[in-house]
Amino acid sequence: NFQCCLKIDEISATSDVFIRKKDAEQHAAKLALEKLGIQPVDDATASKQEGKNSRDLTEEEKWQALKDRLCTTFSEKFLLSNCPLVAHFTAAVQRKGVNYGKVPAAVLSAYDNKIVSLCKSINKNSGKDLALSLQLVLRAAKSCSLLDSPSDSLWIGKKEPFSEETKEELIKKFTGKENDAMEIESCSFQAVYIPCSSEKSVESLTMRIGPQEHFMDVMAYHLGAGDSSHILMSRTLKKAPLESRLY
């Protein structure tokens, strides 16, 4: 049996006891929403509010919706409003060289639920095929006038650079620090390394992430990938600890 305690800033909500971990988490989330005074909206109402359901859109409208969503993820308003992708954009504005301000396309195609669902509406196989959803996102980005994704590149940025204010806000939001020194301490996490050759053995791996490093870059090093844009990530693994993914 599972019980979940959800903490958001000063608010905490403890669920009833459930057989499934997922149900405990959902119940804790429901209680937290009630405490926060947020009224959950069911899917049908949400679709009505958003206008057309993505299934009702024409092919062209689906592509436009995907391009619009990609542009939204780069908008300063979106990034500064508790966006779950903030760590990736913080790394983007600290990256040096040609990929400054860019995020790996796979981050957007895997982590943003709205993008995931728009890709599925364009091609239902993209839900299972990570390379296909990446391909759809890149195609949309490369044809979008506001975004910058050079040919043969797996990175997406926006043509107009982030303002200094946004850069500072992103760093402050992520680190809780006022300056851009990224003085957060090093951290490490455990991973399981699964070689593609069955002749090699599965290994436990400890990854150390320095104060100025981003976990995707460290992972790219361990995977022998050129850079973090070459990493594909799975959807979250069912029956595994929260947010576990295969990279």
Partner 1 sequence: PKSIINKKYGSKAQYITTDV
| CB neighbours of residue 176 within 10 Å | 9
Contact 140, 67 (CB under 8 A): yes
Name which position in 10, 37, 58, 84 contacts partner 1 (CB under 8 A). 84
When binding is defined by CB under 8 A, the residue of 28, 65, 140, 170 that contacts partner 1 is 28
Answer for which of 70, 79, 83, 136 binds partner 1 (CB under 8 A) is: 83
Q: Does 24 bind partner 1 (CB under 8 A)?
A: yes
The verdict on 9 binding partner 1 (CB under 8 A) reads: yes
Q: How far apart are CA 163 and CA 170, in angstroms?
A: 11
CA-to-CA separations, 245 to 88, 183, 239, in angstroms, rounded: 16, 27, 11
Per CB under 8 A, 176 contacts partner 1: no
Name which of 174, 108, 110 is nearest 147 in CA terms: 108
Distance separating alpha carbons of residues 53 and 47, to the nearest angstrom: 5
10, 37, 38, 204: which one contacts partner 1 (CB under 8 A)?
A: 38
Please tell me whether residue 172 binds partner 1 under the rule CB under 8 A. no
* DSSP annotation of 237: P
103 is a site residue for partner 1 (CB under 8 A): no
Contact residues for partner 1 (CB under 8 A)? 1-9, 17, 21, 24-26, 28-30, 32-33, 38, 40, 82-84, 86-87, 113, 242
